Each structure stands twice: as C-alpha cells, then as structure tokens.
Structure 1
Amino acid sequence: MNYICERQFQSDLQTAQLVINEILSNIDKRLDENHIFDVRLILNELISNCVIHGNKKDENKQVNLFFSLNRNKIKIKVSDEGKGFNIFQCKSNIMDENGRGLVLVKGLSDKFQIKGNTITVLKSIN
C-alpha cells in the first residue's frame, strides 16, 4: 500500500492540477472515497496557495511537493519560493474569499504545521 511521490514543478495552476491528478490516480484504489475526497481538497488548497499566494503566480518559480501514503498515514509537505508567513498574524475570516482553505486543511488533518514557506500535513487513514 506504500506510495511516495516527490515533484518540483512550475508555479502554475494547470501544471499543479496535472500533479494532483497523478497522485489521485495512483492512490485511487488504495483509499476509500471519503479519504480520496479529503486528499483532493488538501492537495488543491495547499498547492494553489503555493502558486497564488507564495509564488504570486510567477511561472519562473517552483513548487515542491512530497506526498507519502503508507498503511495508516498520509504525509503531505509543500513549499514555494515565497517569503512564508506567520499563521498567528493572519486574520482568518470564514466569510472572506481568501483564508478558508487553510482552515479546511487544518480541520481535515491530524497534524498541521507551518514553518516559513513550508506546510506539512499528517492525516491518519485508519
């Protein structure tokens, strides 16, 4: 059941979607549909944040992704070339157009960690 994917790719949403689809097609038969839904949402939010907010849609910048799946856990780590941010300085208003994504990701995760321009997520799949 183990699966590992490491990718560095151009910072654009079209390329990001190709990478996400690659991962989803490789884990589709390994997880139930609820976990697939969660993984899709987490990957979409984290990677789009890297492209849009971290790299400011600059296609000359890169997004780094590490994804691993084992018997009982998923680990996702993403980073961009942006300056990073302090989550405690961000005011997340659920009604704002921006800001909901990381709230959703945090809610779906067992561990959610931000260090500068890198976000790491752990999710149990018992």
Structure 2
Amino acid sequence: MDKILLKGLMFYGYHGLYPEENKLGQRFNVDLELRADLMMPGKTDDMEDSIHYGAAYEVVKKIVEGEPKNLLEALADDIAEAMFQRFEQLESIKVHVDKPGPPIPGYYDSVAIEIVRERHDYD
C-alpha cells in the first residue's frame, strides 16, 4: 500500500489529566502515515485524485488545538476518525502523538502513543 507521510506537525493544545495541563497547555507533535492507492494521482498529476497535505494538516490542527482530551489515545482516535471523514481515498492511518516533557515524576524526553486504524473501524 502506498503512503503519504506527514512528520513533525507541531501544535499547542490543552490535553491531559491534570488541571494545570488544561489551563497552561503545552506543545504536541503529531506524525501521520496515510495509506492510500496513489497510482491514480501518480498518473493524472491531479490533486483531486490524492490527499492534500495542507488539508490533512488543517484537520489535525483543528483537533489538537480544539477541545481538551484527558488521554492521548482519545486525541489520536479523533484525528483518525476525522481523517477518514475528510478523505475518501484514505484506506488506513497510523497516528503518532508525542507529548514532550509530561508533568509526571521522573525524567522524560516525552511520552507518546501510536494507533493504527482502517476505514472499516469507523463504519
């Protein structure tokens, strides 16, 4: 299966279990792996036949900068579902959400989750 990769998308959001996370917010990094048949856009050179990178970025931005979620898992699932709603060419998606410097005891670079979903998961 062909892939479109969007790496290192950065947003400021208010997600987390702790009240200070919901009040102060923090940066979130998102990577997407969009799986679709890219043969047609490769032949036609027509954006209508593919998934527009800028439009995909805007879908993620709206969610990450939108309504706060307690869990990264819920945030990633919302991203996946919205991407399937927006892009009919999308067959499966991998969403990686990274939360740098989480407010938990210990020394961390970041915490992250990664989910993989297919279109039929949302039928």
Q: TM-score, normalised by structure 2?
A: 0.34
- Larger proportion of strand: 2
Larger Rg: 2
